[in-house]
Structure 1
């Protein structure tokens, strides 16, 4: 069971990081989309061979960006369908476990004993819930950053932007949709979810201390 949990967290960690770096590469491509292209070409007639050649170059660059961007959305949807149930199980039962661990540590402290094992177990339980939430937040913020990079590419300040304006607008609109791992009945996997769970746990723990 412990080995399976380690593999699960390790796999999810690398999958989310993979998506994160794909989005990072998209930002780099957007920043350099007009590099090494003469702006004056955009003012040439549509049938001019130089303009046609530049149009092919820009279309190729945008095609790669759009392909990567769509692949991230599809992949995150697949991850949500695969890892959604385990994440729901993890959040639900880890929250109960952390609460019970905190109670156990408190009872030991009342007797003047610091239970190292339960303390380490509590820290590990918090970490294994915090890691996917943290990565989910990184992924969400990086996905929104694609929209910012798209706007900051300067497409509205150069004549070349007219040649791929439709593609740019589509990417901008698509980038407004959050990239998050979610499952029916469960909040999106992000730091806000982790904070909410910890806050609720503290409430249960506080009421236990009052009753005690």
Structure 2
């Protein structure tokens, strides 16, 4: 149980920092990509590489959050696949409680409403692409 409280505490401590990190990097990605699409200069290509690095940073955070969630689910599977039926009655109760707890997926949370996972990464990239499309469309109409 200490592990789950540690993950919860980790989410509380770094949640706001991760949210600000994602918001800032999403803005950087949008504006670097728009600048590269509009001007097409070599300097803008460097900026585009900066946005790729920002994408990799966000992906790294989200990927590790996904690994944590997947590992939490795998605990129940590993217990079920073990020889739990040959244990004593007291140990079977402990195994049962652990299996029930493992059915609730553990997430690292960014603030109190967003789980850090690959689904979050896809949402961030969709939002960034929507902003890029909007800004380039507005720029082309002027």
Please report the TM-score for the alignment, with normalisation by the length of structure 2. Answer: 0.88
Aligned counterpart, 1:41: none
Q: How many correspondences in the alignment?
A: 138
Give matches, 1:105-184, under 5 Å: 105-109=36-40, 113-114=41-42, 115-156=44-85, 158=86, 160=87, 162-184=89-111
Asked whether the equivalents of residues 29 and 54 of structure 2 are also in contact (C-alpha less than 8 Å), the reply is yes
Query: Distance between the aligned counterparts of 2:136 and 2:3, measured in 1?
Result: 46
Task: State the shift of 1:206 in Å.
Answer: 1.6
RMSD: 1.6
SS at match of 1:200: helix
C-alpha distance in 1, partners of 2:93/2:104? 18
Moved over 4 A (4+): none
Q: Which has the higher contact order (CA 8 A, sep 6+)?
A: 2
Please show how residues 85-104 of structure 1 align to structure 2 within 5 Å.
Answer: 85-104=16-35
1:81 aligns with 2:12: yes
Gaps of 5+ in 1: 1-69
Asked whether the equivalents of residues 11 and 111 of structure 2 are also in contact (C-alpha less than 8 Å), the reply is no
How far apart in 2 are the matches of 1:154 and 1:196?
Answer: 41
- Consecutive unaligned residues of structure 2, counting only runs of 5 or more, are none
Q: TM-score, normalised by structure 1?
A: 0.61
